Structure formats: structure tokens, C-alpha cells
């Protein structure tokens, strides 16, 4: 059984406005998805977060988004494929320059919010994201949603010459196809720590979840996400880390 890497969205503060508890979460994760300024963050926050990740030996991932600070990147935008490719390159370059200044480097890319969801649904948008990664650094894996059937995403990634890391969520509800239930719907985000921990355990041990329609859903993932803007997830992150560490020792 492969042991899941634990990741969290980080660096989403902006100026004096604070989002998340990065200092509390960072010691317990393997990977930090750092906002690149389009949905959240600014150069000062980005550099502080890169320093924090480096201090804890945490892998750094770029977390690019649509240019939507007001909507926190959760609103789909009518961007062309060229625009998506260019906004990806802009954000990757910004975070990579800060990483270089701090003597570290990017390890992967995880688009944020609506761009993440649109990419999984729309081959044209997936292709735009893939082209940006391939031209920037084809060795960077692209983190994307683990669904019931990942074959179409694997085919697209192979066509574009990039590697995928499949991601599952401890604190989100799923539909029968393995897509995330929209945040606008009741029950889309889990708020009970025990529910979050149990979902993390099921995913980590390769057991099926119960989808929103009551069907059984099996997700094959490489990494598990805990959202840094969900206080209940933050409360559960230590216990999830302990659970994953126990599984690793037993494997």
C-alpha cells in the first residue's frame, strides 16, 4: 500500500488580512500548495510561506488560479486557452523566483479552485495548463482530482508529456463520479473532525467512500488534501498525520 502524501493550501493571506493557520499546519504536512497572487497572497506572504515550508522540509507546489481575488479563485472565468497558459506561466515564474531566492525550488503544480475543477472537466483547459507546465519545466507533476475513472486524464497527460499526481480530499463530499460536490450545496464541506479523519482513513487504506447519492466510491490517490481555510480540518490535521505515520510504519 502506497502511503499518501499530506498536502494543504498555504500562503493565502493578503496584506493585513490573514487566512489559515499556516504555522500550525506546516509541521504536519508533506506538501504546501502556495498561492501565487491571483486568488490570494502577495509577494511578502509568498516569501514568508516559502521560508516556512523550507524550514520544515516541506515540498513546495505552485497553486495558480484565475485572476479572481474578490471571489478567491472559486468562480470560473471565460479565459481563452492562450490566456490560461499565460496566467499559469506568470504565476509559476513568480513563485519559482522566490524559491530560488530562498535556495529551494518548486516540486509540483496544483491549480486552485475553479481552474482546478475546470481543468478536470474541459480537455482544452487541461491542455492549456499542461502546455504551460511542459514549457516551464516538464519534470513538474500536475496535481489533479482523483475520480472514479482517471483514464481520460491519464491519456491527456501522456499526450502532453507531463506526470499526474492524483489528489483526494479529507474534508469534501463527492458525487457518484468522484467530482467534488459544489460548495454552494449543503454538506459539500465536512465540519466534524471525526468525519474528516474517518474519510482520510478510508482513502489512505484504499477503502470506498459513500458518495452524495449513497453509492460506493473508490478513489486511487497519491496525495490527500486538508484545506487550510477549514478550521475543523486544521484541528484534525495532527491526527491525520499520526494516522498516516502509523500506516507507514506498518507497511
The 3-class secondary structure across the chain, one letter per residue, is CCCCEEEEEECCCECCECCCCHHHHHHHCCEEEEECCCCCCCHHHHHHHHHHHHHCCCEEEEECCCCCCCCCCCCCCCCCHHHHHHHHHHHHHHHHHHHHHCCCCEEEECCCHHHHHHHHHCHHHHHHHHHHHHHHCCCCCEEEECCCCCHHHHHHHHHHCCCEEEEEECCECECCCCCECCCCCCCCECCCHHHHHHHHHHHHCCCCEECCCCCEECCCCCEEECCCCCHHHHHHHHHHHHHHHHHHHHC
Query: Along the 251 residues of the chain, how does pLDDT read in single tens digits?
Result: 578 999 999 999 999 999 888 999 999 999 999 999 999 999 999 999 999 999 999 999 999 999 999 999 999 999 999 999 999 999 999 999 999 999 999 999 999 999 999 999 999 999 999 999 999 999 999 999 999 999 999 999 999 999 999 999 999 999 999 999 998 899 999 988 899 999 999 999 999 999 999 999 999 999 999 876 556 666 788 899 999 998 888 87
Task: Look up the pTM and report it.
Answer: 0.94
Could you tell me the residue ranges of all domains in the chain? 5-250
What count of Cα atoms within 13 Å lies in the side-chain half-sphere of residue 121? 11
Q: 5-250 domain in CATH 3.20.20.370?
A: yes
Phi/psi of residue 6, nearest 5 degrees: -95, 125
At 226, list the grid cell.
486538508
Amino acid at each position: 500500500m502506497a502511503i499518501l502524501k499530506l498536502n494543504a493550501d498555504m500562503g493565502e493571506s493578503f496584506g493585513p488580512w490573514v487566512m489559515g493557520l499556516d504555522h500550525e499546519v506546516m509541521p504536519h504536512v508533506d506538501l504546501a500548495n502556495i498561492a501565487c497572487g491571483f486568488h490570494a497572497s502577495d509577494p511578502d506572504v509568498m516569501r514568508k510561506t516559502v521560508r516556512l515550508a523550507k524550514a520544515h522540509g516541506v515540498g513546495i507546489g505552485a497553486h495558480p488560479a484565475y485572476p479572481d481575488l474578490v471571489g478567491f479563485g472559486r468562480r470560473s472565468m471565460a479565459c481563452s486557452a492562450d490566456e490560461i497558459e499565460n496566467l499559469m506561466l506568470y504565476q509559476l515564474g513568480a513563485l519559482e523566483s522566490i524559491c530560488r531566492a530562498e535556495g529551494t525550488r518548486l516540486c509540483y503544480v496544483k491549480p486552485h479552485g475553479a481552474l482546478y475543477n475546470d481543468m478536470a472537466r474541459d480537455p482544452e483547459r487541461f491542455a492549456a495548463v499542461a502546455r504551460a507546465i511542459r514549457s516551464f519545466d516538464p519534470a513538474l507533476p500536475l496535481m489533479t482530482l482523483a475520480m472514479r475513472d482517471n483514464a481520460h486524464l491519464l491519456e491527456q497527460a501522456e499526450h502532453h508529456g507531463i506526470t499526474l499526481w492524483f489528489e483526494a480530499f479529507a474534508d469534501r463530499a463527492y458525487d457518484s463520479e468522484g467530482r467534488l460536490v459544489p460548495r454552494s450545496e449543503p454538506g459539500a464541506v465536512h465540519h466534524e473532525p471525526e468525519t474528516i479523519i474517518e474519510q482520510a482513513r478510508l482513502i489512505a487504506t484504499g477503502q470506498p467512500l459513500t458518495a452524495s447519492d449513497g453509492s460506493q466510491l473508490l478513489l486511487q490517490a497519491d496525495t490527500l488534501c486538508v484545506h487550510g481555510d477549514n478550521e475543523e480540518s486544521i484541528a484534525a490535521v495532527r491526527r491525520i498525520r499520526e494516522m498516516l505515520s502509523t500506516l507507514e510504519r506498518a507497511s
